[in-house]
Amino acid sequence: VALGGGVVGDLAGFAAASYKRGVPWVAAPTTLLAMADSSLGGKTGIDLRQGKNLVGAFHAPRLVLSDPNTLDTLPEEELRAGLAEVVKAGIIGDPALFNKCSEGWAAVQSDWDEVVRRAMAVKIQVIEADPFEHGRRAALNLGHTVGHAVELAANFAMKHGQAVAIGMVVEAHLAERVGLAEKGLAEEIAGVLRGLGLPTEVPAGLDKRAILEGMQVDKKRAGGKVRFALPVRVGEVRVGVEVEHLSELEEVW
């Protein structure tokens, strides 16, 4: 039984996947990030110095038991970081959830049950349609192609959710630039994230070259190009978008 946040879930799930080539396990997530995202979908694993999630297995828990009451003791910074994945869920498939997030910190804080339930519903719908990431599931990588590279460049000193928040805004700007997203979408997403106390720009101290290099080793890289999941509008994400020249990013951050 993995009782804890995403770190406990990833580690216990990976141990369960490996021990005797796989034993059943139960996820009991106690952070917002783990409830809304990491406990669902069966991805387990650990990071290596060379990059995120380089060792792991698909091994779904038999049961996911989320009790939002456990969030009462979770530090505010962790709650805010978890909200990045909630906003992501809204952009992928639940405009009403995105609107709820746009009401700001006080509004979401007063109704964790609803926020957790809606975010879980989006993820469950996506993973049931495409459990092994042959297509649609890649939508869940929204904000993560840039976000993971930001985390790596920051030596993992930044919270995952904060890096994903920055990643979603940078990727939305990129989506506008390549003509995929409606104009103003990036600013709309940034406004919602700011209202939840999340960062929306690459911190001045981070080396942008290092972030671009980090994206080159991203495991989603295929055929010499980095594939993005990019937002079209709130409620619609396009997967497998190839961006020929990553230097495009330098125009948007």
Binding site for ligand NAD (CB under 6 A): 4-8, 10, 30-31, 33-34, 37-38, 41, 43, 70, 73-74, 78, 160
85 among known catalytic residues: yes
**What tokens does 113 get?**
């049950």
183 among known catalytic residues: no
Active site residue: 52, 88, 118, 137, which one?
137
Nearer to ligand NAD, 6 or 214 (CB): 6
Active site residue: 52, 59, 100, 160, which one?
160
| Residue closest to 93 by CA, chosen among 113, 67, 114, 121 | 121
* CB 32 to ligand NAD: min, Å: 8
Nearer to ligand NAD, 125 or 232 (CB): 125
Compute the half-sphere exposure of residue 74: CA atoms within 13 Å on the CB side of its CA: 23
21 among known catalytic residues: yes
| Residue closest to 208 by CA, chosen among 165, 144, 162, 251 | 251
Helix (H) or strand (E) holding 247: none
Active site residue: 133, 151, 171, 188, which one?
133
43 among known catalytic residues: yes
137 among known catalytic residues: yes
Q: How many CB atoms lie within 10 A of CB 79?
A: 21
* CB 160 to ligand NAD: min, Å: 5
123 among known catalytic residues: yes
133 among known catalytic residues: yes
Active site residue: 85, 151, 171, 188, which one?
85
Nearer to ligand NAD, 120 or 181 (CB): 120
* CB 198 to ligand NAD: min, Å: 13
The residue to which tokens 């230097």 are assigned: 247
* CB 81 to ligand NAD: min, Å: 6
Nearer to ligand NAD, 98 or 112 (CB): 112
148 among known catalytic residues: yes
C-alpha of 45 from chain center: 16
Nearer to ligand NAD, 73 or 247 (CB): 73
Q: Which 3-state string (H, E, C) describes 186-223?
A: HHHHHHHHHHCCCCCCCCCCCCHHHHHHHHHCCCCCEC
| Spatial contact of 170 and 249, defined as CB atoms under 8 Å apart | yes
Nearer to ligand NAD, 13 or 231 (CB): 13
| Spatial contact of 192 and 104, defined as CB atoms under 8 Å apart | no
Q: Which SS3 state, helix, strand or coil, does residue 159 take?
A: coil
Q: How many CB atoms lie within 10 A of CB 31?
A: 25
* CB 40 to ligand NAD: min, Å: 7
Active site residue: 52, 100, 148, 159, which one?
148
* CB 233 to ligand NAD: min, Å: 24
Q: Is 178 exposed, middle or buried (0-12, 13-18, 19+ CB in 10 A)?
A: middle
Active site residue: 141, 171, 173, 188, which one?
141
Q: Show which residues are catalytic.
A: 21, 43, 85, 123, 133, 137, 141, 144, 148, 160
